[in-house]
Structure 1
Amino acid sequence: MPRVVLSAFPMIDPETYREVLADAVDEPVDIEVAELGSTERLIEAATGADAVVTDINTPVTEEALDATDLRVVVRSAVGVDNVDVAAAAERGVTVTRVPDYCTDEVATHSVSLLFACLRSLKPYDDAVAGGGWSWETGRPIRRVSASTIGLLSFGPIARRAAEQLSGFDADLVAYDPFVDGDEMAEYGVEKVGFETLFDRADHVGVYAPLTDATRGLVDADALARLSEDSIVVNVSRGPVVDADALLDALAADEIKAAGLDVLAEEPPEGDPLVGRDDTVVTPHAAWYSEEARDDLNRSGAADVADVLNGETPDGRVDPDADWL
């Protein structure tokens, strides 16, 4: 009997996996739920299993792959930065992800964070709750139609954000070495270089996956190119932005604010970016809607079923992909 281990993570719904696998696999499938969160727990839970459906907090390392006989690792998310994809490929283990389940949600969340910061919603709300009633609390606020918004990476989420932003008459520029200018132009976006993005943009949205090349990509030098009215939004992965550099830029009033759905450590413990007047921080929730959660689990379960049935899953991660 095939055995599938699911992380006891709120995003992962065991009932959906049971439903999909019962319909898609001819033989009974043993589904277990386990607390993961570390290599040691993963090895303990997945020894003897055919598949594991993992979360953001569980590193799937070479050690874990050697200690188990997994056929497939499902990363229940868009990113696979906690999975050693190359090591899995060397051992014949399929890695899958769900790349499109929350495109609209994350794009909408990024635009929401941008406008929450741009319109000083947090300072206004705090001031009114404390008995204040002055428009000056939120100064300075700049007109969005007079601004340039930069998109760091131009995958599906950034493209959807560009579509959403197109109605606000702002200029849109993007940096992505893997997307050509003609493709960006279809969305009304101008392709620019990395430094030019920060030179020209009034506000920057970070959508890049976390890789060796993007870790710390938004550093002190990049932030120094922005103006004192600039806003940085990050809905990708926390380490893409140098947290110390971002804190320094905020503390020195070198940029106006930051909207963050991701942090270097999640959940945060004493993170100085949390609780500031000039930050809006949400708990890695940009992906969430009830529809997105259902799509996530059904797609992940379908990938498990495909591997158990000897087929290539739709969500398979190409170990030779440029963005890894």
Structure 2
Amino acid sequence: MSKNVLVTETVFPDLEPEHRVFEDTGINLIVTDAGSAEEIIDAAEGHDIDALLTATHIPITAAVFEHIDSLEIVSSYGIGVDHIDLDAANDHEVTVTNVPDYSVEEVSTHAVSLLLASVRRIPQYREHVNSGNWDWEAEAPLERLRGKTLGLVAFGKIARRVTEKIEGFDLTVLTYDPYVSDETIEEYGVESVGFEELFARSDLISSHPPLTEETRHLIDADAFSAMKESAIYVNTSRGPVVDESALYDAITNDEIHAAAIDVMEEEPPGDSPLLGLDDVIITPHAAWYSEQSKEELQRKAAEEVVAGLQNGTLRYVVNDSKTKPWASTD
């Protein structure tokens, strides 16, 4: 008997990787462009939906599990699963999977790029020159990067890759991650410190935890007040890890020097007051992206569906992710 997989929203230019994975499996791909859980339910009407392929934009609520009673698997395009009601998934015996390892190279590179661009004021110099000016002192004073301290909030796959990529810059690297052993952290030449100590000592801070109830607004007004006035803060994890109103206050009140973020609490950000600030770089949730990572993401999410529906071995079951360490999904 054939199986039906519903793609809940259109986020990719095409679904060629999925079609290749599902070829000759007896799995039918049904594509919708839902904007809400209710529209997902409507799209499933008249079909026995065995699995969902879903991005992070639409909440997969308890109502979805209640109405699509044939559902066996929800496969998330990406690392985060905070948009999925995991308790409801457990109640309805639905397996939830993600793709936690598809963009480690891209996100770590993007984080390092944002750090370097902020340290060297690249966007500001670009704007200065494009405005018809030519003055190296326009962004003075700049500090030498060598010898500075980088603090990593969480120490999962991406943060570890960041550590490897900045090795040549001769930085002291600290991390706060209560779920990773000191022995593992020391293997990378990194020092494990307390939460407030990380902010107090670091010149550069980069956030890498997944979004959980524990990490929502983890970087708040108290965190920013603990940072140096010269600190640069970077976030390539999830937007709600940061209290954006606190970040705005920290920048405009000169509590920290600069920030660079790839993810925001609301995406697109609408009329966020962070937009247009000279000391804030914002990129459009692009850290994950390369052509290779996009193909890998689509392919692996589809492969999880095939494995689950054909009684194979699932690699990335996350139904218990709320009790997993921060780094386990990084």
Both proteins in one fold, TM over 0.5: yes
Q: Are 1:132 and 2:130 an aligned pair?
A: no
Contact 1:73/1:93 (<8 A) preserved: yes
- 1:322 — aligned with what? 324
| Superposed displacement of residue 52, structure 1 | 0.7
Task: For 2:172 and 2:14, locate their aligned partners in 1 and report how far apart those are by CA, in whole Å.
Answer: 41
Asked if the contact 1:102/1:287 (under 8 Å) is kept, the reply is yes
Alpha-carbon RMSD across the aligned residues, in angstroms, is 1.4
Q: Could you tell me whether the CA contact under 8 Å between 1:205 and 1:234 is conserved in 2?
A: yes
**Match of 2:180, as an amino acid?**
V
CA distance in 2, matches of 1:12, 1:302: 19
Alpha-carbon distance in structure 1 between the residues aligned to 2:242 and 2:140: 26
Maintained 8 Å contact 2:217/2:241 = yes
Question: Distance between the aligned counterparts of 2:13 and 2:56, measured in 1?
Answer: 11
Q: Counterpart in 2 of 1:81?
A: 82
Asked if 1:40 is matched to 2:41, the reply is no
Is the 2:174–2:192 Cα contact (8 Å) retained in structure 1? yes
User: Which residue does 2:123 correspond to in 1?
Assistant: 122
Task: Give the fraction of aligned pairs with identical amino acids, expressed as a percent.
Answer: 43
SS at match of 1:144: coil
In 1, Cα distance between equivalents of 2:75 and 2:222:
37
More divergent stretch after superposition (183-192 vs 5-14): 5-14
Paired residue type of 2:109: T
Query: How far 1:312 sits from its partner (Å)?
Result: 3.4
Structure 2: distance between partners of 1:254 and 1:198: 12
Partner residue of 1:154?
Answer: 155
Question: Cα offset for 1:308?
Answer: 1.2
CA contact (8 A) 1:6 1:12 kept: no
Mapped partners of 1:231, 1:20: distance in 2: 43
How far the C-alpha of 1:295 sits from its partner, in A, is 0.8
Looking at structure 2, the residues matched to 147 and 239 of structure 1 have their Cα atoms a distance apart, in angstroms, of 27
Structure 1 Cα separation of the partners of residues 282 and 223 of structure 2: 21
Give the length in aligned residue pairs: 321
**Paired amino acid for 2:290:** S
Q: Distance in 2 between matches of 1:72 and 1:139?
A: 55
Identify unmatched segments of 5+ residues in structure 2: none
What's the offset of the Cα at 1:13?
A: 4.2
The answer as to whether partners of 1:52 and 1:72 remain within 8 angstroms in 2 is yes
**What SS class does the counterpart of residue 23 from structure 2 fall into?**
helix
Query: Where does residue 278 of structure 1 map in the other structure?
Result: 279
8 A contact 1:232–1:257 mirrored in 2: yes
What's the offset of the Cα at 1:76? 0.2
Deviation at 1:12, TM superposition (A): 7.4
Residue 166 of structure 1 is matched in structure 2 by 167
| Residue aligned with 1:82, SS | coil
Matches within 5 A, 1:50-199: 50-69=50-69, 70-199=71-200
* 3-state SS, counterpart of residue 324 of structure 2: coil
Q: Distance in 1 between matches of 2:261 and 2:241?
A: 12
How far residue 84 of structure 1 moved from its aligned partner, in angstroms, is 1.3
Cα deviation 1:63-107 (Å, max 9, x = unaligned)? 211111211001100111111122212211010000100001000
SS at match of 1:31: strand
CA contact (8 A) 1:3 1:29 kept: yes
Distance 1:252 1:58 in 2: 35
SS at match of 1:3: strand
Please tell me whether the aligned partners of residues 18 and 298 of structure 2 are also in contact (alpha carbons under 8 angstroms): yes
- TM-score using structure 1 length: 0.95
Q: Which residue of 2 aligns with 1:8?
A: 9
Q: Distance in 2 between matches of 1:240 and 1:95?
A: 22
Runs of 4+ aligned structure 1 residues displaced above 6 Å come to none
Give the conservation status (yes or no) of the 8 Å contact 1:159–1:187.
Answer: yes
**Structure 1 contact 13–297 (Cα < 8 Å) conserved:** no
Conservation of the 8 A alpha-carbon contact between 1:12 and 1:297: no
Q: CA deviation at 1:318?
A: 4.3
TM-superposed deviation, 1:34? 0.6
Moved more, 45-54 or 265-274: 45-54
With over 3 angstroms needed to count, the CA separation of the structure-2 counterparts of 1:15 and 1:50, relative to structure 1, is same
More deviation in 80-89 or 93-102?
80-89
Whole-angstrom CA distance in 2 between matches of 1:37 and 1:183: 42
Alpha-carbon separation, structure 2, partners of 1:22 and 1:171: 50
Structure 2 length as normaliser, TM-score? Answer: 0.94
Q: 1:308 is aligned with what amino acid?
A: L
Stretches of structure 1 that go unaligned for 5 or more consecutive residues are none
- Partner amino acid, structure 2, of 1:74: S
Deviations 1:14-50 (A, max 9, x none): 2211111114x2xx22211111231111212234311
How big is the shift at 1:319?
Answer: 1.2
CA offsets, 1:133-161, max 9 Å, x none? Answer: 11222223221112110000111001101
